[in-house]
Amino acid sequence: MPSQILPISNPPSSSASAATMALKAEIDADPSATLLISSQFDTEKAISITPLLPRASSYNNTTNIITNYQQQRRRRSASDTSLALLADESPRQSLTQEVGHAAAETYLITRLSLKLLRYLGVGYRWITRFIALGCYSLLLMPGFIQVGYYYFFSRQVRRGIIYGDQPRNRLDLYLPKNSNGPKPVVAFVTGGAWIIGYKAWGSLLGQQLSERDVIVACIDYRNFPQGTISDMVKDASEGISFICKNIAEYGGDPNRIYLMGQSAGAHIAACTLVEQAIKECGEGESVSWSVSQIKAYFGLSGGYNLFNLIDHFHSRGLYRSIFLGIMEGEASLRQFSPEVLLQDLNAKYAVSLLPPIILFHGTGDYSIPSDSSKSFADTLRRLGGKAESISYEGKTHTDLFLQDPMRGGRDEMFEDLVAIIHADDEDALAKDAVAPPRRRLVPEFMLKLAHDVSPF
C-alpha cells in the first residue's frame, strides 16, 4: 500500500497545539506516511519528509540520533571504503573526475622520478641509465597504456583507500568480478628503490591475480626523503593491519591473507613481518595484527641482508651515502636486515612464529643478485623455519614482474604463485587448470629489446 500523504498548511497560532496533536495521531497510525509541508509564504514549493523514527521510538531521543550518526561517520573513511559492498551498484565516476585523478597520479609519478634523479645525481653513469630507462619505457608503452586504462577506469579497482594518518597511507584494491564466497587476499608492497615506490606499480599483478579470483591490496608508503626505512616499515604494518581487520567487507577471507613484496617492497615487507614476530615474542608489546594471520610470505626479487648489498648498490649507482640515509645509518643495518636479525639469540624464537616463506628470484637479476634469496631461505631453514627459494633461469629484475606478464600465455612464476595460493582449494585449482591463456600486451620483439636495454 503506498504511503499516505498528509498535507500540512500553516494553521493559526491558536490552533497550533491541536493541529500538532492531530498530526502526531496520524503519524502514529501510519509510520511510513510522507509529510507534505506547504507554507503561505511559498505555495509553489514543497518538501517531502519521511519520519526518521518508527512509531515505537521516542520523539525526544535526538541526542542519540546525532551520536549514532557521528559514530558512523567516524567509521567511514574519506575514500570509497564505504562503497565496497555496493561496488556493482555504485555509479561510475564522471570522466572529468577520472581524468583529474589520472593527472594527479601522473604528476606524483613525475615528481618521484625527478626526486630520484636529484638524489642519484647527473653523472655520466646516471645519464646513460636514464636514457636506457626512457627506451625501456617506450618499448613497454603499449602494455603500460592498457594497464593504466584498467587502473583508472575499471570498476574492479578501488583506488586510494585510506588506512592511516600519513599522506601516503593509501592502498588500492583489485577485486575479482566473481563475488561468490570469500576470496584469498594478497597484501602487496611495491618496489622502487625505497625512493620511488608507489602503489600503482602493482596494477598489472593486481589485474592478473583478480582474474584468478584473488583480491590484491597494493599498499602505498612514504618514500625517502619523506620518510626513512622505519617509516616505511611502520606504514606497511598499518596497511597490513587495515587489511586484516577490514578485508572481509570487500569479500576477502581473513583466514587466507598472504603478504608479498617486490624488490625494495620485498625487503620492507620482510622487515615488517620479522619485526611483528619479534614483538609477539616480547612481553607487553602492543600489536594491531598478528603474524598468525598471514598464511605465507612471498618475496619477489628482494634483498634481506643489507651488509651484503651495500657495496653492490653503490656500484650500481645507489650510492653508499644515500643508502645509509635511507636505512638510518650504518648502525641500523642490522635492525633492517631480516636475515641477520633472526640469527640473534634474542630473536631466534620469532622464527617459529613466521609463516611459510617462499622467495622468487631470477638468476639474471643484476639489481639484487639471486643469492640474496637463496641465502635468506637457507638461514631460515637452518633456524627451524619453513622457507623455499625458487629460481628462474636467466630472468632479470624486471622480467618476472613486467616483461613476462606482458608476454601473455603461460607465465611460470605467476603459475607457481597461484598454485600456492590455491593449494587448499580444489575448485580453484580446477578452474586454474582450464583458465584461458593470458592476453599478450606487447609484441615479442619489443619485449626482447626491453630485456636488452633494461637499466635494472
Tell me the catalytic residues.
Answer: 263, 365, 397
Alpha carbon distance, N-terminus to C-terminus of the chain: 69
Q: How far apart are CA 254 and CA 276, in angstroms?
A: 18
Sheet of strand 183-189, all strands in order from the earlier edge strand to the far edge: 157-162, 170-174, 215-219, 183-189, 252-262, 294-300, 357-362, 387-392
Beta strands per DSSP E along 345-403: 357-362, 387-392
Distances (CA, A) of 451 to 143, 192, 290, 315: 14, 18, 40, 21
Contact 216, 251 (CB under 8 A): no
**Alpha-carbon Rg for the chain in angstroms:** 28
Q: How far apart are CA 403 and CA 136, in angstroms?
A: 11
H-assigned helices in 30-123 = 62-75, 95-120
Angle at which helix 203-210 crosses helix 141-153, to 10 degrees, equals 70
Q: How far apart are CA 93 and CA 100, in angstroms?
A: 11
Of 303, 300, 308, which Cα lies nearest the Cα of 392? Answer: 300
Q: How far apart are CA 128 and CA 130, in angstroms?
A: 6
Q: Grid coordinates standing for 301? A: 626479487
Q: Grid coordinates standing for 222? A: 612514504
Of 364, 362, 354, which Cα lies nearest the Cα of 387? Answer: 354
Instruction: Describe the chain by its helix, strand, coil percentages, rounded to 5.
Output: 50, 15, 35
Q: Grid coordinates standing for 250? A: 570487500
